Structure 1
Amino acid sequence: MGLANEVGEVLGKYKKQVRGDGDKYKEIRAELGDVMWYIARMFDMYDMNMAEVLHENYLKLTDRKERGVLKGDGDYR
């Protein structure tokens, strides 16, 4: 639940920057650090290797691009 809260904070600051409320780089950077902390804790909790998961996702997306199915719905396209 903390992760969802932190993602909401990132998006809130991003929204303000998009609408012209000034540069929010520092604030967004700080909130992204909080997001990554929660993500890292989830990797630890499930005993997963972040680099392996990211590589698997890269391979999945590369395969979808090569097959022309990046757009669309479904986890297993």
Structure 2
Amino acid sequence: MQEIGELAARLREFAAERDWEQFHTPKNLAMALAGEVGELVAEFQWLTPDESRQVTGDPEADARIRAELGDVFIYLTRLADLLGVDLLEAAADTLEHSALRYTPESYRGSARKAPPLKRPENR
């Protein structure tokens, strides 16, 4: 399995070989990421909750969803690399923050939104 850092390096090289760094600004990458997330969402848009859980049973749908997830991950990884953000660290920080906001005692089985909690300063 490839590490995120290795993927980021491959994406950097891929963009450099094509002289695409000029287009890979944070704004453009964020917009491309949003577009790819939209394409992923479209795969689920009109499905019932049960149908959405079973979608990978259809080989064609599975291939489309897998491709969209790949696109989302590539753009997210490229954006994070460009901004110098360690995605695993950012995810761990967010999970830690969410654990404080959504305690099991208060939120088990609930989808309600927690009130804002002041986030710790950046490292």
Tell me which interval the TM-score lies in, with the shorter structure as reference length. Answer: 0.7 to 0.9
Please, what is the CA RMSD of the aligned residues?
2.6
Q: Which runs of 5+ in 2 are unaligned?
A: 1-30
Over 3 Å counting, the alpha-carbon distance change for 1:63 and 1:75 in structure 2 is closer
Which residue type is aligned with residue 11 of structure 1?
V
Give the total of aligned pairs: 75
Q: Does 1:4 align with 2:34?
A: yes
User: 2:93 maps to what in 1?
Assistant: 56
Q: Secondary structure at the match of 2:102?
A: helix
Equivalent of residue 36 in structure 1, options 56, 66, 73: 73
Which residue type is aligned with residue 71 of structure 1?
K
Larger gyration radius, structure 1 or structure 2: 2
Q: Distance in 2 between matches of 1:4 and 1:51?
A: 20
Any idea what the Cα deviations from partners look like across 1:15-62, whole Å, max 9, x if unmatched? Answer: 25x166x73222111101000100001111111111100000100111
Over 3 Å counting, the alpha-carbon distance change for 1:7 and 1:37 in structure 2 is same
Q: Which runs of 5+ in 1 are unaligned?
A: none
Q: Distance in 2 between matches of 1:7 and 1:75?
A: 27
User: 2:113 maps to what in 1?
Assistant: 71
